[in-house]
C-alpha cells in the first residue's frame, strides 16, 4: 500500500530539496577526495567543507571556526552535553547539570546517563503549563558548580518557544555554558549565536529540507569541550573522522535556502498552522491545544483529545491518507505517556490522546481543508467503537 498522500509530519523530518540533492551529487562521485589528503583531490574536498562552514557561520552569525559538523542532531546534543560536562568537571570540578524536563531524548537521556554512570548531579528546571522555563527559576537554581545548562529552543512535541535570550542573560552573568537544541527552528526562525547569548546550538539538516545524517554543533569560541570521538584532527580535534563531504555540502545548501526562504516560509506556515489549530478546536469536541498559543513554532500544531488513544488515531489517520504524529517520532509504538506532556501538567490518561500536526513547504490549503473534514469523523468513529474508560 502506498504511504498516506498527505504528509503533515514535517517536525519528524522533511523531504530533501532537489537543489540540495543536486549540490551534493558531485561530491559522491567525481569529486570523491578525502579533505585531509594533501593532493588536489583532497584540496578540492577540503575547500568544499570550508565553504560549507562559512555558509553555515554566516547564517548563524558566528565565525567559521565555531561550526563543528556532526552526524546530526543527536550527535550534536551528545557532544554539547558530554563534551561540556566533562570539560567543566576537569577545569573547575563542576558536576551539576541543569536541563528542562521537556527536552528531546537526545538531551534528556544523555544527561540521565551522565548522572547515572558518571556521577553528575542532574536537576530538572521547572516549566509552566506551556513548557517554558522562566529566567527567574534558572537564576534560583544555577550554582557555581553548574557545569552546563541545556534548554530546548523550539519544542518538537508541543511547539513552544523558549525565551532563550532572557535565559542566556542568567547563564552569561554566571559564566556557565548554555546549550540549546535548536533542531526545530532553522526553517522558520533566524537564530544568531551572538544575539541569542547561547554558547552552543545544535542543528540538524533533515529538519530543514536537507539530508538525514548530518548536523552541526555551533560552539562559541572559548567554550571548552572534551571531544567524544577521538582519532584524527578533523573539526579542529573536536570530532575525529573523515568529513562527510557530500552531506556537509548538502547541509550548507539547505542552510542557505532556509535563509532565503525563511520569511516567506514561516508566514505561510503560520497561516496554515492557525487554520488547523482553530479548525481542530472548533470541530473536535474535547480537543485541547498543547504548548503555547502564540509563542510557538510557525509550523507546529499539537493537541490532546479526550477519550482517544493517540496511536489508534494515528493509525486511523494513516489509513485515511494523513501522516501525522503523536509527538516525537521516537515515541512510535510506545504506550507510555509522553514525559513532555506530563511535565506540562497533563493527566497521564489525557496525554495518551496526543496528536501533532506539522506543516511544511509542500503543504497546501486543500490538504488542510481535507484534514479538518477527516479528523472529526475519525475521532467520532474511534470514540463510538472503543470507549476508553476515564
Ligand atoms: C530531530 C530532533 C533531534 C534529533 O536529531 P537527529 O538529527 O534526528 O539525530 C533532536 N532534537 C530535536 C528537538 C529534534 O527535533
pLDDT tens digits in sequence order for the chain, 390 residues long: 778 789 999 999 999 999 999 999 999 999 999 999 999 999 999 999 999 999 999 999 999 999 999 999 999 999 999 999 999 999 999 999 999 999 999 999 999 999 999 999 999 999 999 999 999 999 999 999 999 999 999 999 999 999 999 999 999 999 999 999 999 999 999 999 999 999 999 999 999 999 999 999 999 999 999 999 999 999 999 999 999 999 999 999 999 999 999 999 999 999 999 999 999 999 999 999 999 999 999 999 999 999 999 999 999 999 999 999 996 544 455 568 899 999 999 999 999 999 999 999 999 999 999 999 999 999 999 999 855 544
Task: Please say whether the beta carbons of 139 and 170 come within 8 A.
Answer: yes
Give start and end residues of each alpha helix (H) in the chain.
18-24, 40-59, 73-92, 105-118, 135-141, 164-174, 193-196, 245-283, 310-319, 339-343, 348-351, 365-385
Distance (angstroms) between ligand 1 centre and the Cα of 38 equals: 35
Q: Quick check: CB of 350 below 6 Å from ligand 1?
A: no
What pLDDT score does 4 carry?
Answer: 79
Q: State the closest ligand 1 atom to the C-alpha of 106, by its place in the atom list counted from 1.
A: 10
How many angstroms separate the alpha carbon of residue 221 from the centre of ligand 1? 24
Tell me if 132 CB under 6 Å of ligand 1.
no
367 Cβ inside 6 Å of ligand 1: no
Global pTM exceeds 0.85: yes
Residue with cell 551572538: 194
Which atom of ligand 1 is closest in space to residue 207's alpha carbon? 1
SS3 at position 277? helix
What's CA 104's distance to the chain center, in Å? Answer: 7
Report d(CA 290, CA 158) in Å as an integer: 6
pLDDT of residue 390: 47
356 in contact with ligand 1, CB cutoff 6 A = no
Helix (H) or strand (E) holding 302: strand 300-305
Pairing verdict, β 96-99 and 67-70? unpaired
CB-neighbour burial class of residue 168 (10 A; exposed 0-12, middle 13-18, buried 19+) = buried
pLDDT computed for residue 268 by the predictor: 98
CB 57 within 8 A of CB 201: no
The per-residue pLDDT for 117 is 98
CA-nearest residue for atom 5, ligand 1, is 73
The grid coordinates listed for 279 are 479548525
Q: Is 53 in the pocket of ligand 1 (CB under 6 A)?
A: no
Q: Which of 62, 301, 324, 330 is catalytic?
A: 330
C-alpha pair distances (Å), 334 with each of 52, 276, 329, 330, 338: 38, 26, 10, 8, 9
Phi, psi of 338 (to 5 degrees): -65, 135
Q: Which of 12, 77, 104, 329 to mutate to test the pocket of ligand 1 (most atoms within 8 A of CB)?
A: 104
Query: For the stretch 293-313, what's the b/e string if a residue is b when 16 or more beta carbons lie within 10 angstroms of its beta carbon?
Result: eeebbbbbbbbbbbbbbbbbb
For residues 236 and 136, give the distance between their C-alpha atoms in angstroms, rounded to a whole number: 37
Q: What is the dihedral of CA 384, 386, 389, 390, to 10 degrees?
A: -50
Pocket test for ligand 1, best of 150, 184, 204 (most atoms within 8 A of CB): 204
Q: Distance from CA of residue 124 to its chain's centroid?
A: 19
**Sheet of strand 354-358: strand arrangement:** 287-289, 300-305, 354-358
Pocket test for ligand 1, best of 69, 72, 78, 209 (most atoms within 8 A of CB): 72
Q: Which burial class, exposed, middle or buried, applies to 358 when counting CB atoms under 10 A from its CB (0-12, 13-18, 19+)?
A: buried
- Does the annotation count 330 as an active-site position? yes
Q: Is 156 a pocket residue for ligand 1 (Cβ < 6 Å)?
A: yes
Amino acid at each position: 500500500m502506498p504511504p498516506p498522500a498527505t504528509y503533515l509530519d514535517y517536525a519528524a523530518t522533511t523531504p530533501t530539496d532537489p537543489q540540495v540533492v543536486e549540490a551534493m551529487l558531485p561530491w559522491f562521485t567525481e569529486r570523491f577526495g578525502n579533505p585531509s589528503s594533501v593532493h588536489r583531490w583532497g584540496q578540492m574536498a577540503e575547500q568544499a567543507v570550508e565553504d560549507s562552514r562559512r555558509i553555515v557561520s554566516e547564517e548563524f552569525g558566528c565565525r567559521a571556526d565555531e561550526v563543528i559538523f556532526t552526524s546530526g542532531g543527536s550527535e550534536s546534543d551528545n557532544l554539547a552535553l558530554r563534551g561540556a560536562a566533562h570539560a567543566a568537571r576537569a577545569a573547575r570540578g563542576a558536576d551539576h547539570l541543569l536541563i528542562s524536563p521537556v527536552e528531546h531524548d537526545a538531551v534528556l537521556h544523555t544527561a540521565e546517563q551522565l548522572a547515572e554512570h558518571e556521577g553528575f548531579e542532574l536537576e530538572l528546571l521547572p516549566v509552566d503549563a506551556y513548557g517554558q522555563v522562566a529566567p527567574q527559576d534558572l537564576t534560583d537554581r544555577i550554582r557555581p558548580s553548574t557545569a552546563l545548562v541545556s534548554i530546548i529552543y523550539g519544542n518538537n512535541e508541543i511547539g513552544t518557544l523558549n525565551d532563550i535570550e532572557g535565559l542566556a542573560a542568567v547563564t552569561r552573568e554566571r559564566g556557565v555554558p548554555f546549550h540549546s537544541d535548536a533542531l526545530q527552528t532553522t526553517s522558520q526562525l533566524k537564530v544568531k549565536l551572538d544575539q541569542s547569548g547561547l554558547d552552543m546550538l545544535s542543528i540538524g539538516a533533515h529538519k530543514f529540507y536537507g539530508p538525514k545524517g548530518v548536523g552541526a554543533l555551533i560552539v562559541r569560541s572559548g567554550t571548552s569541550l572534551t571531544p567524544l570521538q577521538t582519532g584524527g584532527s578533523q573539526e579542529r580535534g573536536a570530532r575525529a573522522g573523515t568529513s562527510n563531504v557530500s552531506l556537509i555540502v548538502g547541509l550548507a545548501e539547505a542552510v542557505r535556502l532556509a535563509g532565503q526562504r525563511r520569511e516567506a516560509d514561516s508566514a505561510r506556515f503560520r497561516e496554515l498552522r492557525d487554520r488547523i489549530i482553530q479548525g481542530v478546536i472548533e470541530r473536535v469536541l474535547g480537543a485541547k491545544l498543547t504548548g503555547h498559543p502564540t509563542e510557538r513554532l510557525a509550523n507546529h500544531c499539537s493537541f490532546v483529545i479526550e477519550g482517544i488513544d493517540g496511536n489508534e488515531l494515528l493509525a486511523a489517520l494513516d489509513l485515511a491518507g494523513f501522516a501525522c504524529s503523536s509527538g516525537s517520532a521516537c515515541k512510535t509504538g510506545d504506550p507510555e505517556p509522553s514525559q513532555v506532556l506530563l511535565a506540562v501538567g497533563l493527566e497521564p490518561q489525557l496525554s495518551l490522546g496526543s496528536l501533532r500536526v506539522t506543516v511544511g513547504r509542500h503543504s497546501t490549503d486543500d490538504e488542510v481543508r481535507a484534514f479538518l473534514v477527516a479528523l472529526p469523523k475519525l475521532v467520532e468513529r474511534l470514540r463510538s467503537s472503543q470507549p476508553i474508560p476515564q
